[in-house]
Amino acid sequence: MNIIIFGAPGSGKGTQSDLIVTKYNLTHLSTGDLLRKEIADNTELGKTIYQYISQGQLVPDKMIIDILAKKLDELKTVETDGTILDGFPRTLQQAEALEKLLAQNGTQTDILIDLHVDEQELITRLLKRGETSGRSDDNIETIKKRLDVYHSQTCPVSDYYKKLGKFVEILGMGTIDDIFGRISKAIDAKL
Ligand code: AP5
Ligand code: MG
């Protein structure tokens, strides 16, 4: 099973992914985590990536698609029941590339879960996390840029999956457990 967990910055993609991987025996693939690892390792690629992330901008499609393709290839040998994609795809070009890569492996995306959270709540959560996260993008100026990028570049991805009949919107407000309950119901309906 391949699940995309989708939603604005701070909507709870990472938090819910942790719960989903345990319950459904999936591998968590977070492009944000992969990029931050590259920065932490201080690679040449990491230096370039930092310029984008710290400005709240998306890294170029070609760069992230190459990174994701390599990771999906590595995961072929991992014995789980599928993958949860967190933070990818974020543009239409990435969505098309993902479905092409999955098709090459004889698979496809089964469901896109869109976590819907009010904008003020997103900002509150990210500012709170920013007190301890050390993330270069958890400050009010960059949070606003990330939200703009989400609306202009990432939202169109939901229409792509709506057309494929794979889009499910979930209310991402309330307790973490309540939200996980709603997500589990949506996944179980697809199993
Ligand atoms: P990425 O790491 O994907 O960040 P993001 O999408 O901005 O989202 P976050 O990780 O900030 O939030 P989340 O939805 O995971 O929420 P979380 O569970 O942490 O991307 C970072 C950057 O990398 C991008 O801006 C871009 O530059 C680059 N990038 C990544 N992927 C890319 C791609 N595909 N293409 C190009 N560039 C890419 O929750 C947030 C906080 O809220 C936490 O503190 C959590 O504890 C708290 N929380 C969670 N649930 C609740 C709840 N129910 N109630 C109260 N608090 C809650
Ligand atoms: Mg995250």
146: annotated active-site residue: yes
CATH architecture label of 2-184? 3-Layer(aba) Sandwich (3.40)
Task: Select which of 135, 145, 162, 182 is catalytic.
Answer: 135
From the DSSP assignment, how many helices (H) and strands (E) are in the chain? 9, 5
pLDDT in tens, 28-51: 999 999 999 999 999 999 999 999
Q: Domain limits of the chain?
A: 2-184
Name the burial class of residue 5, with classes exposed (0-12), middle (13-18) and buried (19+) by CB atoms within 10 angstroms of its CB. Answer: buried
Q: How far is the CA of 109 from the centre of ligand 2 (A)?
A: 20
User: Which atom from ligand 1 is nearest to the alpha carbon of 15?
Assistant: 18
pLDDT tens across 45-94, in order?
Answer: 999 999 999 999 999 999 999 999 999 999 989 999 999 999 999 999 99
H or E element at residue 27: strand 27-30
What's the CA-to-centroid distance between 86 and ligand 2, angstroms? Answer: 7
